[in-house]
Structure 1
Amino acid sequence: MNKLQQLYGDIDIYLFDQLLKGTYDQCRKVLDVGCGGGRNLVYLLQNDFDVYGVDPNPEAVEAVRQLSAALAPDNSSDNFMVASAENMPYADASFDLIICSAVLHFAQSQEHFDRMLRSVWRVLKPGGYMFARLASDIGIEELVLPTGNGRYWLPDDSERFLVNHATLLNYTQELNGYLHEPIKTTNVQNLRCMTTWCMQKL
């Protein structure tokens, strides 16, 4: 394992970009929604952030608890819980930063997406940041096939809930958020597109 990997783990490259820019330097209490095994938490755990995570998969939660115990023994294992994005057991305005990477596109419908997003936004403090990465149709609008309820069949043979540019801008305004970074989309050989949505809560 090289030194960068030891410091940052298998981190999302666009989250890495925000860390390099210092965007989240003042964010001490962090929640990873859909944390999995903790791939995006290595740097945060090793640098004295108060790290929390939720995931609906009990095995993933156990894995991230073990990671936390190894990298940050003082970070309580109780900070990691089995829970869904739309039903999190936290008070309003609890976190300075929320990471939500490759989660929202698993919404089963527009209503489900809305509940997930508003739940995430609810537990974010005013002035706090949300880092979201999710599938979109931006750039491949003619290549995806609607299957109903906001879900589409993609050229990579997966079915996901997809957003577009207008959807993200409308939610940013409706939630009283601010795009501190432009919306950025990566097109993976016209098989799928992944969009990075970085907001600050006003």
Structure 2
Amino acid sequence: MENTPQQLYGNIDIYLFDQVLKGRFNDCKKVLDVGCGGGRNIVYFLQNHYDVYGVDPNPNAVTEVQALCKILAPANPVKNFVNCTAESMPFEDATFDLVICSAVLHFAEDSNHFDAMLRSTWRVLKPGGYLFARLASDIGIEDLVIPLGNSRYALPDGSERFLVNEQILLEYTQELNGKLFEPIKTTNVQNLRCMTTWCVQKN
């Protein structure tokens, strides 16, 4: 019986799926999901013999992703999944070929917290490695968000998020000595929120 797309890829972020289909990460071996949750974005990587790691501040999420790992990739050590925050990861510098950070950075409390999370994520990435990030932005809804201070905003969907814009992402790309491997893309969800995909390769 053939596997369904759901079995092959799980509930993967569609823009991460786009990169997988393009073969972007075919030569990557070691993958880290920062803020992995229950593992929705690593089903494909677990099933295709990548060395997969994950961190999440929620211990229940770590337990859940460890259980998923045992089912999909028994040879992948469950100790690779760690209960910690993005800014306090226990990994050595330049460890990973691919770091996924989907729907995490917009939970930053302020610009200093955002900077700490991002630099920690960048630190563990190897030169030549890929950062795939998805995060909330004000791109396209600048007039609809309400500033709350510390770069946090109230969104029309009722949530509060740390928001970036294209200029901030381009400045960080340059400051971190990276380069875009895909143009910055933003999805506008009916003017309620905007999610931006930021794909950076480390020089």
Give me the TM-score of the superposition, normalised by structure 2.
Answer: 0.99
Q: Does 1:152 align with 2:153?
A: yes
Residue in 1 that maps onto 2:87: 86
Which residues of 2 match residues 98-109 of structure 1 at below 5 A?
98-109=99-110
**One-letter identity of the residue aligned with 1:137:** D
Structure 1 gaps of 5+ residues are none
The whole-number CA distance in structure 2 between the counterparts of 1:36 and 1:120 is: 16
CA displacement at 1:63 relative to structure 2 = 0.2
CA RMSD of aligned residues (A): 0.9
Q: Distance in 2 between matches of 1:152 and 1:116?
A: 19
Q: Please, which runs of 5 or more residues in structure 2 have no aligned partner?
A: none
* Aligned length in residues: 202
1:13 to 2:14 alignment: yes
**Secondary structure at 1:24 match in 2:** coil
Give the aligned partner of residue 25 of structure 1.
26
Q: Secondary structure at the match of 2:182?
A: coil
Look up the match of 1:55: 56
Matched residue of 1:181: which SS?
A: strand
Counterpart-to-counterpart distance in 2, 1:95 and 1:180: 17
Q: Distance in 2 between matches of 1:171 and 1:63?
A: 33
**CA apart distance, 1:55:** 0.1
SS at the partner of 2:131?
Answer: strand
Aligned to 2:191: 190
Report the 3-state secondary structure (helix = DSSP H, G, I; strand = E; otherwise coil) of the residue aligned with 2:38. coil
Q: Which amino acid in the other structure matches residue 155 of structure 2?
A: L
Q: Which residue of 2 aligns with 1:165?
A: 166
- Tell me which residue corresponds to 2:128: 127
Deviations 1:132-173 (A, max 9, x none): 000000000000000010100000000000000000000000
Pairwise CA distance, 1:41: 0.6
What is the CA distance between 1:184 and its match in structure 2? 0.1
| Counterpart in the other structure of 1:35 | 36
In 2, Cα distance between the equivalents of 1:166 and 1:107? 18
The residue number in structure 2 matching 1:67 is 68
Structure 1 residue 35, shift from structure 2 partner: 0.1
Question: Offset at 1:54?
Answer: 0.2
What SS is found at the alignment partner of 1:97?
A: strand
- What is the SS of the residue equivalent to 1:86? helix
The list of structure 1 runs, each at least 4 consecutive aligned residues, that deviate by more than 2 angstroms after superposition, is none
- Cα distance, 1:187 vs. partner? 0.1
1:68 match: secondary structure: helix
Q: Which amino acid aligns with 1:99?
A: I
Q: What is the CA distance between 1:34 and its match in structure 2? A: 0.1
Find out whether 1:180 has 2:181 as its counterpart.
yes
Q: Distance in 2 between matches of 1:62 and 1:55?
A: 10
Q: How does 1:104-119 map to 2 (within 5 A)?
A: 104-119=105-120
